[in-house]
Amino acid sequence: MLILRLGTFLDSGFEQIYLMLNALNRNVGEVFDTYVYTSGITQGQFSYSAAIGLFKSAVGFLLVIGANRIAKKFGEEGVY
C-alpha cells in the first residue's frame, strides 16, 4: 500500500487549502492543485494547467516505479 500511496504524494487536499486562501496569504499558500485551478479555470490557460497536471502525474509515476524497484532490491514483494 505504501508504494501505491507514494503516487499521491503531491496531492494536498484541494478543497481545504482553496477555502482558506485569500489575497493576503495566496503567495505563500499556493500548492499545485490550487495553482492549476487558478491558472486553468479562472485565467483560461488550459494548456499550461494541463502541462502542470501532466508534470504532477509524471512525478507520481516515477515515485511509484522507484519505490517498487527499491522494494524489489530489498527482496520484498512489489506491485508488479
- Note the pLDDT tens digit of each residue in 29-56: 999 899 999 999 999 999 999 999 999 9
Distance CA 43, CA 74 (A): 47
CB atoms within 10 A of CB 75: 6
- The pLDDT of residue 12 is 84
**For 14-24, how does the pLDDT look when each residue is reduced to its tens digit (9 = 90+)?**
999 999 999 99
The phi and psi torsions of 66 (rounded to 5 degrees) equal -65, -45
CB-based contacts of 1, cutoff 8 Å, min separation 6: none
Q: Is 59 exposed, middle or buried (0-12, 13-18, 19+ CB in 10 A)?
A: middle
Q: Domain residues of the chain, as ranges?
A: 13-73
Q: Write down the pTM of the prediction.
A: 0.80
pLDDT band at 13 (very low <50, low <70, confident <90, very high): confident
